[in-house]
Amino acid sequence: MAMLNLRSLSLLILPAAALDAFATPNCAPDWEHHAELIEGAPVNGSPLSTPLSGGLIVDLSWQKGAISPAIKKPSGDVIPIRKVRRSVTPVRGENPIADHYVFGPDVLDPALSPEFSVSGETAPIATVEPTPGYRGQIWVMPTRQNHTQTKTLSDGGVKACVRWTYFPREADISHYPTPDALVNFPSWVVHAFDDCGLPRSTLLSGRMPRLGYRNRAHLEPDLDGDGLYDLVALINDLETGRSGLAICSQSDRQLELIGLSDASDEEPLSSDFLERLEWWSADGRNITLGSPSAGSKRLYRDSDGTLASGLIGD
């Protein structure tokens, strides 16, 4: 029996306005999607070829007066791609001439990739499980337009925003402390810590669920102030039994561990302090953590970007 998988459509459904203004799509990564902005110009009729993080390659070329994108896997195989129908016809000088494409193993299957309607909504349709693979969206537009006497585009500069992910992806449950803790850690949290390189010798700790907030045992502060939420979770070291804190930066997927070293007393937060933790919260660029016996501390990045802490009230 076919299963309804709304998430398989999430990469393909956008408000109509997002299709017709290049500036509308947010060309920034999130925890489940990579994103990169490409700008340049094909040379001597050859495509503008750009490698992406993760091994994908984007080729942009001029064909019959339009920019034609192609997405290749790390193996070199071309990923199926199709153009999304516009809801509004572009008017020269009034709105950008941006084209929107979706790519993935199932984009040519109408059951999994229904066409857009004028309103930007799709007709209700049941879908089968999606084929595992790279999938995403790309918006392309000319930046420098050369026109012939017939006012058709020829060559020139191009600009593209590509957002992609690998889906579906199974969470590595070896990082979960117990099956009961699954509810405290959505799969994307485990994926994110895997991408940041969380050691296999550590377990995500379900000890500090935020009551009233879906019982999720992680925080999302913006410690470096770059506008992207970072990811913080308590962890346990299987080899030493120490409690620690794992901090994953969203912008570069860099991981920092606190409290697990032999000199944890010299770190911003010690293993003993984290072991006694009874409350925590995130507020912008700060994390507040504490317990009745140890008091409350503020964790933050100093002017050099180094993690630091201080007792609240001092």
**Strand 66-72 relative to strand 99-103: parallel, antiparallel, unpaired?**
unpaired
Q: Return the pLDDT at 92.
A: 53
Is residue 312 scored above 90 in pLDDT?
no
At 222, is the pLDDT very low, low, confident or very high (cuts 50, 70, 90)? very high
Compute the mean pLDDT over every residue in the chain, rounded to the nearest whole number: 78
pLDDT of residue 251: 85
Neighbour-count burial for 110-126, b at 16+ CB within 10 Å, e otherwise: eebbbebeeeeeeeeee
Percent of the chain with pLDDT over 90: 38
Positive/negative CA dihedral, 32, 282, 285, 177: negative
Bridge-based pairing of strands 158-167 and 66-72 is: unpaired
Q: Give the CA distances from residue 142 to residues 17, 42, 72, 139, 216, in Å, rounded to whole numbers and listed in that order.
A: 19, 11, 21, 11, 44
124 compared with 200, residue with greater pLDDT: 200
Q: Do the Cβ atoms of 158 and 131 come closer than 8 Å?
A: no
Distance CA 223, CA 312 (A): 17
Q: What is the DSSP string of 54-73?
A: TS-EEEEEEETTEEEEEEE-
Provide Rg for the chain, Cα atoms.
Answer: 24
What is the spatial distance between Cα 278 and Cα 161, in angstroms, rounded to a whole number?
A: 43
Mean pLDDT of 253-260: 93
How wide is the angle at C-alpha 65 spanned by C-alphas 59 and 70, nearest 5°? 20
First to last CA, the chain: 63
Structure-model confidence comparison of residues 205 and 263, the more confident one: 205
H/E element, 275: helix 271-275
**pTM over the 0.95 mark:** no
pLDDT digits (tens, 9 = 90+) for 1-45: 333 333 333 333 333 333 334 444 678 888 888 899 999 988 777
Give the pLDDT confidence of 60-85 residue by residue, as tens digits.
Answer: 998 887 889 999 999 999 999 999 87
Q: Would the pLDDT of 54 be above 70?
A: yes
From CA 187, how far away is CA 164, in angstroms rounded? 18
Which of 85, 70, 88, 82 lies closest to 112 in space, CA to CA?
82
